[in-house]
């Protein structure tokens, strides 16, 4: 009974984060669109890597991160934006440039208070308060943030915020790599050449290893969502997720939106917003040797998340 009471208290905390992560092009943005309309959620649009930096710094150097973040207000803002510590809302979102965020840099700067920050909890709270002000956000007591960084943000949140809930979204690895290669080619980003392909495969297996080696307490706060399951039965998946992270069921959880507007989609293969080819008709961008390399080295990922060859 005491454990149940502790869980209820942690889930009622106004700063309790829900962190969504996974490999890129696995459906993290789509999943966030399903969370978008819930009245208890305050969604930070676009990606933010606050919790990834906690994971990379390690438990013994959190004080260094806090000291650097609070040394100077303008330097803090510069660092937030240069490293995408928090979502880059002062400019249009790359994948959704027409989305009206209603952002005010003046409100954001006026609300960002760092003078009494001495721990991670307070730093997170001050940043969230400032972003709420910048967005003029009302309501939603659970802050939701996502980063397609192979789960590192989720693991950082689970390790250092005992009340946090983590969601890892995964996808069939060949479909994910096929989409990632096409997405980068279309967007002019760093292409999926042989070094980046090898690195991506390593990071996918590292994600699986990290999930398999979580402590029992951390595993209880982690939910894994497979993209294919979400597409096949979104209501069933979102009901399960809601129960796991402490969001009461609302019909909006079965309807993807972006800041309350109908979901336009961000497929790598769609010719226009909101459309997508069915999987069997999508172009194959991976070369045979790339597919063979991935199939040869992704057994760990497939085993952990239940994907067969």
Q: Residue 146: which CATH number?
A: 3.40.50
Q: In sequence order, what DSSP letters do the residues of 82-131 get, joined into one string?
A: HTTSS--TTS-BTTBTT------HHHHHHH---TT--SHHHHHHHHHHHH
- Identify the pLDDT of residue 282: 65
Number of domains in the chain: 1
The answer to the question of residue 103 being in a domain is yes
The verdict on residue 183 lying in a domain is no
Flag whether 193 is in a domain: no
Confidence at residue 244, expressed as pLDDT on a 0 to 100 scale: 95
At residue 192, the pLDDT reads 87
pLDDT for 4: 38
Residue 109, in any domain of the structure: yes
Q: What is the pLDDT of residue 285?
A: 87
Predicted pLDDT of residue 270:
66
pLDDT of residue 271: 54
Summarize pLDDT for 291-301 with one digit per residue, the tens. 999 999 999 99
What confidence score (pLDDT) does residue 283 get? 72
β-bridge partners, 43: 144
Q: Give the span between the Cα atoms of 7 and 162, in whole angstroms.
A: 10
Q: In the chain, which residues have pLDDT < 50?
A: 1-14, 272-278
The model scores a pTM over 0.85:
yes
Distance CA(79)–CA(111), nearest Å, equals 17
Query: Is residue 47 situated within a structural domain?
Result: yes
Domain-located, residue 38? yes
Domain hosting 234: range is 2-172+216-278
Per-residue pLDDT tens for 177-209? 999 999 888 766 678 899 999 999 999 999 999
Return the structure tokens found at 218: 């951390």
200 lies in some domain? no
Helix (H, G, I), strand (E, B) or coil at 235: helix
Radius of gyration of the chain (CA): 19
Question: Is there a domain that residue 307 lies in?
Answer: no
Look at residue 281 in the predicted model and tell me its pLDDT: 57
């Amino acid at each position: 009974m005491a454990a149940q009471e502790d869980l209820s208290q942690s889930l009622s905390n106004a700063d309790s984060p829900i962190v969504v992560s996974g490999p890129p092009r696995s459906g993290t943005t789509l999943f966030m669109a399903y969370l978008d309309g819930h009245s208890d959620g305050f969604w930070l649009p676009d990606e933010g890597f606050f919790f990834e930096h906690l994971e990379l710094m390690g438990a013994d150097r959190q004080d260094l991160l806090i000291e650097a973040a609070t040394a100077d207000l303008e330097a803090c803002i510069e660092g937030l934006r240069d490293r995408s510590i928090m979502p880059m809302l002062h400019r249009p979102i790359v994948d959704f440039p027409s989305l009206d965020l209603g952002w005010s840099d003046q409100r954001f700067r006026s609300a960002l208070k760092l003078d009494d920050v001495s721990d991670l909890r307070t730093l997170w709270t001050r940043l969230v308060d400032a972003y709420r002000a910048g967005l003029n956000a009302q309501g939603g007591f659970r802050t939701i943030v996502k980063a397609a960084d192979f789960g590192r943000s989720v693991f950082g949140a689970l390790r250092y915020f005992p009340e946090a809930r983590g969601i890892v979204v995964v996808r069939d690895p060949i479909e994910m790599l096929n989409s990632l290669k096409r997405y980068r080619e279309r967007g002019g980003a760093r292409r999926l050449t042989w070094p980046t392909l090898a690195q991506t495969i390593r990071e996918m297996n590292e994600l699986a290893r990290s999930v398999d080696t979580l402590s029992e307490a951390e595993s209880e706060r982690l939910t894994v969502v497979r993209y294919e399951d979400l597409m096949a039965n979104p209501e069933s998946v979102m009901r399960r997720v809601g129960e796991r992270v402490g969001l009461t069921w609302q019909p909006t959880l079965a309807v993807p939106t972006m800041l309350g507007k109908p979901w336009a989609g961000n497929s790598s293969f769609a010719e226009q917003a909101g459309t997508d080819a069915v999987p069997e008709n999508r172009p194959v961008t991976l070369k045979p040797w790339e597919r063979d390399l991935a199939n040869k080295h992704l057994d760990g990922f497939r085993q952990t998340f239940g994907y067969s060859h």
